[in-house]
Amino acid sequence: MTNSEIAAVFEQVADLLEFQGANPFRVRAYRNGARAIRDLSEAAADLVASTDRDLTAIPGIGKDLAEKVVTLVQTGTLPLLDELLAQIPEGILAILRVPGLGPKRTATLYRELGIATLEQLREACENHRVAALKGFGAKTEAAILRGLELAAQADLRVYWAEADEVARALREHLGGLRAIRQLEFAGSYRRGKDTVGDLDILVVAEDSHTVMEHFAEYSGVAEVLARGDTKMSVRLQSKLQVDLRVVAEESFGAALQYFTGSKAHNVVLRGMAKARGLKVNEYGVFRGEDRVAGRSEEEVYGAVDLPWIPPELREARSEFDWAAAGQLPKLIELGDIRGDLHTHSTWSDGLATIEEMAAAARQRGYQYLAITDHSKRATIANGLSADQLLRQWEEIDQWNAKHRGLKLLKGVEVDILEAGGLDLPDDVLAQADWVVASVHFGQNQSRERITARVIDALANPYVCAIAHPTGRLINRRNAYEIDLDAVLKAARGHGKCMELNAHPSRLDLDDVACAAAKHHGVPIVISTDAHNINGLDAMRFGVLQARRGGLSKDDVANTRPWTQIVKLLGKR
């Protein structure tokens, strides 16, 4: 079982317990456990297999959860989950996954209206019986209908990070085969798209039969969907489909280019080739019958007088213009990042202490780390009052006095209140090194209201960046209504940054919005929003999205030393 699968089981247990009205602390333990496992940098299954490692050493994993991880890894199932599933109508599970409908509301719908299937839910919304329920209303009802749509799409695509987990495991599995001479992943996964529909693998091999046999033996394969001479498709237990193609060595570059896509990018490339009297397909570039290119991607692009284009840019946006003008950006790399400016500790809803987070940041070679715990409005996240925050900052001062190399920044993630304004007074914010502001409440307000709240926050002299600026949760919640163009202009005017939240479920701002920020001259700050040590490793997902937005090192604030960021913000 992969970490994502284990985490999904814990999330499901938490949902079902909450649906039943179980003790909130017990529910929370499972949610924290899910987060801890999802953020692990190594496979939980490997930890279980090794004799000298203790799962309870992972913050958020106590003795009970550790045992459950072992059970899951060893048997693939969890008795507690089976028990819960037996007690609850089957359709409830699907309802629980509908964006905007938490376990509490699902329980109300079941109790009051007897809703136990998605179909019943849709019907009740369409007949406005949901709006009539106490605590629901017309807006919520409309949101549930939108959620039903989103849920239907969400079943089809996984987070890039999940696809990456599978891709790595498959690469390891196939890598052991001597018959394979070259292997690359193509498709949306190679382009670093935030979600992936299926995985596409290309191999050059001495003998395709052996490769296919070995592919089918991968332990995660649930079903072989199709098998031909050169192509094979399987469905994994996780439901993800994987296509494997065996190609000739002299066609490898052409096939890699073709199957990396995007389709829109390939259409443009084919058009350019045609204008030169050439034909491009997955076998090569041809003039008449003659193959003039195909072994490498460089050859293929070279045939139409273009430099090689990084896969992340291949979306038929600006990449061909840039390439033709010799102005492809030098894309940012993970190694350019010098610090993380949005993280949590045990002071609010994090699972690691300030000291532990600091040690982890040093291990990652960072120069600075901002601890940005929640402000008090975020009650469910154990948000801090002004007094608590000032005490925390004293502790940070003391830490800095004792350590060299890493600078810990006194930060806060301050809530932008529903009625406008910030959750902390200016005289407190003034004492922080770094302030991110975020909308957690009032997300259903009108576009005008939310935009005005965010622009007001940008105007506050102590706010440095807006965190996860659109509030989207991939596959689970649409972005709230916000005029991003107006927000970016305001950010530019006030000399502020915008966050690219690197968490795989957020990636907010997304690639297109990052490009827009660059266009407006607004620096992006890539932050992990880590709630535990391993959460810091999400940085690479953020960097990947930034690359898709065409960002270079200079476009990203936290590639600079801290003193330069201070200058950038015009702070003293």
List the one residue from 297, 319, 529, 555 that touches Zn ion (CB under 5 A). Answer: 529
> Among 190-198, 379-387, 520-528, 556-564, which window interacts with Ca ion (CB under 5 A)?
190-198
Question: Which C-beta is closer to ligand DGT: that of 145 or that of 221?
Answer: 221
Could you tell me the two tokens for 406?
């890493």
Residue 150, φ and ψ in degrees, nearest 5? -60, -40
Binding residues with ligand DGT: total (CB under 6 A): 12
80 neighbors 51 (Cβ within 8 angstroms) = no
Q: Which of residues 168-227 bind ligand DGT (CB under 6 A)?
A: 187-188, 196-198, 200
> Among 242-250, 292-300, 474-482, 557-565, which window interacts with Ca ion (CB under 5 A)?
242-250
* Binder of residue 529, out of ligand DGT, Zn ion, Ca ion, none (CB less than 5 to 8 A by kind): Zn ion
Considering the complex, what minimum distance in angstroms separates the CB of residue 66 from Zn ion?
A: 27
Q: Supply the DSSP string of 228-249, one letter for each residue.
A: -SSEEEEEETTS-EEEEEE--G
Binding of residue 103 to Ca ion (CB under 5 A): no
Handedness of CA 327, 333, 336, 337 (dihedral sign): positive
Considering the complex, what minimum distance in angstroms separates the CB of residue 153 from ligand DGT?
A: 12
List the one residue from 60, 187, 471, 542 that touches Ca ion (CB under 5 A). Answer: 187
Binding of residue 349 to Zn ion (CB under 5 A): no
* Binder of residue 549, out of Zn ion, Ca ion, ligand DGT, none (CB less than 5 to 8 A by kind): none
Question: Which C-beta is closer to ligand DGT: that of 204 or that of 465?
Answer: 204
- Residues 6+ away with beta carbon under 8 Å from 186: 200, 201, 202, 255, 256, 259, 260, 261
467 neighbors 413 (Cβ within 8 angstroms) = yes
List the one residue from 11, 200, 297, 529 that touches Ca ion (CB under 5 A). Answer: 200
Q: Which of residues 394-423 bind Zn ion (CB under 5 A)?
A: 413
Direct distance between the N- and C-terminal alpha carbons of the chain, in angstroms, rounded to an integer: 51
> Measuring CA to CA, how many Å separate 447 from each of 100, 155, 512, 520?
18, 28, 19, 21
Considering the complex, what minimum distance in angstroms separates the CB of residue 315 from ligand DGT?
A: 10
Binding of residue 253 to Ca ion (CB under 5 A): no
**Alpha carbon distance 108, 260 (integer Å):** 46
* Binder of residue 561, out of Zn ion, ligand DGT, Ca ion, none (CB less than 5 to 8 A by kind): none
Considering the complex, what minimum distance in angstroms separates the CB of residue 491 from Zn ion?
A: 19
SS3 351: coil
Considering the complex, what minimum distance in angstroms separates the CB of residue 413 from Zn ion?
A: 5
CA 27-6-104 angle, to 5 degrees, is: 30
> Among 238-246, 277-285, 307-315, 444-452, which window interacts with Ca ion (CB under 5 A)?
238-246
Question: Which C-beta is closer to ligand DGT: that of 200 or that of 312?
Answer: 200
| Site pattern 232..271 for ligand DGT (x: CB under 6 A) | --------------------------xx-xxx--x-----
Looking at 39-178, list the stretches that DSSP marks H as alpha helix, in order from N- to C-terminal side.
Answer: 44-49, 63-75, 79-87, 90-96, 103-113, 118-126, 137-154, 160-175
**Alpha carbon distance 186, 216 (integer Å):** 19
Question: Which C-beta is closer to Zn ion: that of 266 or that of 348?
Answer: 348
80 neighbors 33 (Cβ within 8 angstroms) = no
Considering the complex, what minimum distance in angstroms separates the CB of residue 243 from ligand DGT?
A: 7
* Omega before 509 within 30 of 0, i.e. cis: yes
DSSP code for 479: P
Please, which contacts does 134-143 make with residues 24 or more away whose CB atoms are closer than 8 Å? 135/108, 136/105, 136/108, 139/444, 140/100, 140/444, 143/100, 143/444
Binding of residue 140 to ligand DGT (CB under 6 A): no
Considering the complex, what minimum distance in angstroms separates the CB of residue 307 from Zn ion?
A: 39
Burial track 252-277 (b if 16+ CB lie within 10 A, e otherwise)? bbbbbbbbbbbeebbeebbebbeeee
> Among 167-175, 424-432, 457-465, 522-530, which window interacts with Zn ion (CB under 5 A)?
522-530
* Binder of residue 413, out of Ca ion, Zn ion, ligand DGT, none (CB less than 5 to 8 A by kind): Zn ion
Binding of residue 162 to Ca ion (CB under 5 A): no
- Chain contacts with Ca ion (rule: CB under 5 A): 187-188, 198, 200, 243
- Chain contacts with Zn ion (rule: CB under 5 A): 413, 529
- Chain contacts with ligand DGT (rule: CB under 6 A): 187-188, 196-198, 200, 258-259, 261-263, 266
